[in-house]
Amino acid sequence: MSQTTADDRLIVAMDVPDALAGLKLAEQLGDAVSFYKIGLGMLTGGGLALANEMKQELGKRIFLDMKLFDIGATVESAVRGLAQFDLDFLTVHGDPYVVKAAKEGAAGKEMKILAVTILTSLDRADLDGALIKPGAIRDLVQERAGNAFAAGADGVIASPQEAALIRALPEATGKLIVTPGVRPAGADVGDQKRVATPASAIADGADHIVVGRPIWKSENPRAAAQAILQELSSPQAQQPNRS
């Protein structure tokens, strides 16, 4: 198993059709990228097998983005099964009972449980349609993050626009903040509604950024990834207020 030494603050979202396309992308990116996200969309396209192969044979770090949500016993059982793959991150919804169940399922393993606050594809109108209580999204995200940390979450998923608020929480000390909705300057925002650039997301307190389409849809994915990594190494991507 080879080990990579790339900057793992960049997580590349493998939002491609199947495991073969995923392996092709990993081959194109080579040693430039060490951390990948495999989501629900690839579950029926060999996603778990791909996650295991990339972890065990290619030495990559893997973020399994399943956003689990169910009764506690079912979540605990599902997480226990997934934890056997020795992956790095797993997402669950940020409801405290879900987080607690997930932590029980991951007991004894290194896999980090990350809680979803509010999806970065949603705005206030979407929340109204889902009967979510009134309030500014940033306030609801901060509240959900605090509740998830109190329930034992190792970190949270949040828009880069809320990263600074979450990082300021006393409960966030030593916790991870992973931000999707990150787009290089000038890139198409796609279905994301709350976005930021890579450097600003890190400066605002994110530990990892997740970037998909701007990399895998590029004519030269490796060059696109390297441009983002270069931005992450710039002075603008420092965290002066990191606790």
* pLDDT above 50: residue 50: yes
pLDDT 10s digits, 66-81: 999 999 999 999 999 9
Q: What is the rounded average pLDDT of the residues 52-76?
A: 96
Most confident region among 35-39, 158-162, 230-234 by mean pLDDT: 35-39
Which residue type occupies 150?
A
Is 60 an active-site residue?
no
How far apart are alpha carbons 8 and 108 in whole angstroms?
24
How far apart are alpha carbons 180 and 192 in whole angstroms?
9
pLDDT 10s digits, 127-148: 999 999 999 999 999 999 999 9
* pLDDT above 90: residue 199: no
* pLDDT above 90: residue 43: no
How far apart are alpha carbons 79 and 91 in whole angstroms?
10
Q: What percent of the chain has a predicted confidence (pLDDT) above 90?
A: 74
**Confidence at residue 5, expressed as pLDDT on a 0 to 100 scale:** 60
What mean pLDDT, rounded, does the chain reach? 89
pLDDT interval class at 184 (50, 70, 90): confident
pLDDT interval class at 188 (50, 70, 90): low
pLDDT interval class at 121 (50, 70, 90): confident
**Confidence at residue 243, expressed as pLDDT on a 0 to 100 scale:** 42
Task: Kindly state the helix (H) or strand (E) to which residue 89 belongs, with its residue range.
Answer: strand 89-93
Looking at the whole model, is its pTM more than 0.75?
yes
pLDDT interval class at 1 (50, 70, 90): very low
How far apart are alpha carbons 124 and 140 in whole angstroms?
11
Query: Which residue did the predictor score with more confidence, 2 or 42?
Result: 42
**Confidence at residue 239, expressed as pLDDT on a 0 to 100 scale:** 58
Catalytic-labelled residue, pool 24, 37, 60, 67: 67
Q: What percent of the chain has a predicted confidence (pLDDT) above 70?
A: 90
In the chain, how long is the greatest CA-to-CA distance? 50
**Confidence at residue 189, expressed as pLDDT on a 0 to 100 scale:** 46
How far apart are alpha carbons 89 and 224 in whole angstroms?
24
pLDDT interval class at 96 (50, 70, 90): very high
